[in-house]
Amino acid sequence: MHDEVAPGRGGARHARLVARFQAALLALSVLSCAFVAIELASLRHWKSAEQIVPWIVLGVLVCSALIVVVDRSRIAITQARLVALCAAPAALFGVYEHVSANLDTGVLNHKYAWSELLGWEHLWLASTGAVGGTPATAPLVLALAGVLLGLATVGMTTDTARDDLAQNPGVDVSRVRT
């Protein structure tokens, strides 16, 4: 409705708002990676090859986000989207590993008659954390960081990067690479 009253003024305002949301989503992605790294470090989550996987995913997610911040070229945006897609399978692998570890230790839990329970009950107890010591859904935070990174690139083009810089009088737009 505002665009109908002043047809020429809504575009720049809309572009600034979108750029702010993109920056906020990028920041949330990087912050979630930082907090997951702190949590993993406090748990000393590096004792086996499988436990290194989230560290690699976190590093790639952060590097990918920083590449998009520094260079909004088409290749930078594309790589961020690919990295975001790769975070989901890594997170699902983590969920599988955590549930599997909980299943292995479920027999040690004296609260349940483990041998008398059905298979789906074993899976339910391991998935909900009722048995075992690993949080089954914690790895999904990697997928969240990937989704945030992917959402930050929605609508991001090399043209919008140039337009955002053109509105800042302190930046020489002729030197911006696209």
Confidence at residue 159, expressed as pLDDT on a 0 to 100 scale: 54
Q: Is 127 helix (H, G, I), strand (E, B) or coil?
A: helix
Lowest mean pLDDT among 7-21, 34-48, 133-147, 158-172: 158-172
For the chain, percent of residues with pLDDT exceeding 90: 66
User: What is residue 61's predicted lDDT score, i.e. its pLDDT?
Assistant: 98
Residue 132: which of 109, 152, 165, 162 has the closest Cα? 109
Which band of pLDDT confidence, cut at 50, 70 and 90, is reported for residue 9? low
Express each pLDDT in 30-79 by its tens digit. Answer: 999 999 999 999 999 999 999 999 999 999 999 999 999 999 899 999 99
pLDDT at residue 172 in the model = 55
- Give the pLDDT band (50/70/90) at residue 109: confident
Ranking 9-18, 34-43, 81-90, 155-164 by mean pLDDT, the lowest is 155-164
Residue 88 burial (CB < 10 Å; 0-12/13-18/19+)? middle
| Contacts with 55 (C-beta within 8 Å, 6 or more apart), sequence order | 37, 40, 45, 46
Write down the pTM of the prediction: 0.78
Chain centroid, CA 144 distance in Å: 4
Residue 46: which residues within 8 A CB-CB, separation 6 or more? 40, 52, 55
How many helices (H) and strands (E) would you count in the chain? 7, 0
